[in-house]
Structure 1
Amino acid sequence: MHKDQIIEAYQFRHACKEFDAAKKITTEDFDFIMETARLSPSSFGFEPWNFLVLQEPTLREKLLPVAWGAQKQLPTASHFVIVLARTKQEMAADSEYIQHMMKDTQELPENVVQQKGAAYDHFLKNDFSVFDDERVMFEWASRQTYIALGNMMTSAAMIGIDSCPIEGFAKEKVEDILAAEGLLDRERFGVACMVAFGYRKNEPRAKTRQAKEEIIRFIG
């Protein structure tokens, strides 16, 4: 793509508050969006995420009372995704999940597994000092899911699909509903954010952003 086409996609993207419920994203296009999430980078390459694509109307209805920021998106979005982040016990250096990632997914030799595991453990406990607090560990994992979130929204915009990232919800109540439905193991995952995809019902107002001089500083 040309640079001006990429900027055009960023200009096109906005937080779509209401979608045209009659327009559905094709399987091919949504698979493309989700593939950009799957290919997203993460700290140490440990991919601390899962994605729940909620297409069941009754489940979306159950979420409405506890998701004030998705009142128009839940009923109208073509696809609605809940982004999950892994918990402290999942992200500990010696956890089954992290060991699986290094040995089976990354296919590292045993000596590298030991070295990388030790470096990762030091990072958690010393460099970033996140390991002592369960919520801080979850928020650290959640921050990484936002990399995938951004990539999903950008890739959608590049093919003319609208999106809306959503944090307006009662986290514990959403998790209660998902757990009751058998969709969430709270020992392993928590809800990081939500994102809706579809086609806009109304045109948005002009995009507003600070000037680059206000936010970018070149040193040297």
Structure 2
Amino acid sequence: MSQLEITKNEILSAFHFRHATKEFDSNKKISASDFDYILEAGRLSPSSYGFEPWKFVIVQNMDVRAKLAEYATGARKQLQSASHFMIILTRLPEDMVAGSDYIQRMLEHVQKLSPEILQAKQNNYDDFLKTRFAIEDDPRVMFEWACRQTYIALGNMMTAAALIGIDSCPMEGFNREQINEVLVAEGIMDPEHFGISVMAAFGYRLHDPSEKTRRCMQEVVEWVE
């Protein structure tokens, strides 16, 4: 078997291994090096125009986790038992418009574009928001568009974790407004720039999952030739 086939099998095996883990073995902890690897998979993830509208907050303080659990009914077991608990924050619309300080910093200092290319990309992005995608006039749509990009990073982190035998669970079972308030009160989130997108727990499963079920390929794929 070629190395390519081995790699393909390893990746598909990771997808079969991965499941939404509801309860973790609280006695088993992810090593620092393994979690750094998971975070690097998130950091290197793609985003629209490469503007990275995310921030990964790792909540290890159990008192803070308990406060979050009051408003996250869909994450209470995971908050109590996960080795690592992540909150993914998303940039607010004010930071994502073409003329914002954040976008300017991304273009100039992160992407290191020349002045000519920087201006061209900024103009293109401005047209994208105002005309082609036409979302700039609706702050809620702008925020949700940025949130969708964070799910790319989350998916990559969960796959990276599964490849080395680490379990995960993405979660939306929380009251967004109240969780935002907790994060602000704890000094974790700057409400002028961020809002919560999604939660995710990482660790090692306490129970074996049921058999994975998915629709067949013929139902989910259509070829247009």
The answer to whether structure 1 residue 148 and structure 2 residue 153 are counterparts is: yes
- Aligned residue identity for 2:160: S
Shift of residue 56 of structure 1? 0.3
Q: 1:10 — aligned with what? A: 15
Q: 2:32 — aligned with what? A: 27
Percent identity, aligned pairs only, is 54
Shift of residue 22 of structure 1? 0.1
2-side partners of 1:212 and 1:129: how far apart?
34
CA deviations over 1:7-45 (Å, ceiling 9, x no partner) = 100000000000000000000000000000000000000
Q: 1:190 — aligned with what? A: 195
| Pairs within 5 Å for 1:19-98 | 19-98=24-103
Provide the secondary structure at the position in 1 that maps to 2:24. coil
CA deviations over 1:184-205 (Å, ceiling 9, x no partner) = 1111000000000000000000
CA deviations over 1:58-117 (Å, ceiling 9, x no partner) = 000001110011010000000000000100100010100000000000000011111100
Shift of residue 3 of structure 1? 1.1
- Aligned residue identity for 1:194: M
2-side partners of 1:2 and 1:110: how far apart?
41
Moved over 6 A (4+): none
1-side partners of 2:66 and 2:36: how far apart?
24
| Pairs within 5 Å for 1:71-150 | 71-150=76-155
2-side partners of 1:3 and 1:185: how far apart?
41
- Aligned residue identity for 2:167: D
Q: CA RMSD in A?
A: 0.6
Q: 1:205 — aligned with what? A: 210
CA deviations over 1:161-215 (Å, ceiling 9, x no partner) = 0000000000010000000111111110000000000000000000010001001
Residues 94-103 or 178-187, more deviating: 178-187
1-side partners of 2:52 and 2:171: how far apart?
21
Gaps of 5+ in 1: none
Provide the secondary structure at the position in 2 that maps to 1:52. strand
2-side partners of 1:19 and 1:165: how far apart?
13
1-side partners of 2:155 and 2:175: how far apart?
22
Gaps of 5+ in 2: 1-5
Q: 2:178 — aligned with what? A: 173
2-side partners of 1:25 and 1:77: how far apart?
10
Provide the secondary structure at the position in 1 that maps to 2:90. strand
**Aligned pairs, number:** 220
How high is the TM-score relative to the length of structure 2? 0.97
- Aligned residue identity for 1:143: R
2-side partners of 1:133 and 1:185: how far apart?
21
Provide the secondary structure at the position in 1 that maps to 2:55. strand
2-side partners of 1:208 and 1:187: how far apart?
42
